[in-house]
Structure 1
């Protein structure tokens, strides 16, 4: 259920990372879906990259973005499954100041409606690091669209209430989270 209040939307600077051993800029449909979603919602694409599924290469790019004054949110697609090469959660977890446990739970709940019990193999995670919100989701284009339309579009929208992540990211002018009774 969407709850919008009267505030003006605050555009965020969002970086997109595709974790894949096979994707290129030409065939990165998942990364492109996230870029399309964020730009259509009025946000700015701060940067976009593709990296092989290697813990230290993932951490290097994400750490650079976390340290940047120009990035407020990071969307990561890929590397969240159970194959031997899938290492996105292991790469990100040590970087988090706080984990956003509800993201993975909610993603799997929404995804269950689309793919049934196969959603149990998703290790979608999220967290905050240096006032940057980071969301990692599966590498399929449909999973990215599910995450964007079902969760991220509202949670990165300063007009969504009673709460969203905009007040918690660096350089945000949005007000604090309002209680449900307000």
Structure 2
């Protein structure tokens, strides 16, 4: 009587495929998941309400003059870096090397259109690694001191790498959003 080994072959393939499925699920569970929290919202909310964010920035800028200075480099209230990858930042050199490993100074100037200093803003600023959330540095209004008509703070960047600076500024229902991609060396 001749043996038929085809059923063993199919059992072997099924066992191999099943073990690959189990290995894939096990490997996926072991990798940490980092939720994107740009503008302190879930990415779905940012995606769904991005036009509202830009409109909010326009309304904010119609009421206030805004400048943020990071290590003596001045920036407007801007969110355009959200569309750029880190590789673009490396090649374009527009926002390259803004942060340094160690102490970094942040100065925020907000004036109303009459030229008067505005001093009671709710500020939330986050400096975070761009690829993961292993290092998150949060600054709020209490982290800033109001000196010489400016909000001033320092942030300690612990290691070199690619970083995002995310901030919101709010007063009387007017909210401004800021997003900057850079690196620290």
Larger Rg: 2
**TM-score above 0.5:** no
Higher strand proportion: 2
Higher helix proportion: 1
Q: TM-score, normalised by structure 2?
A: 0.28
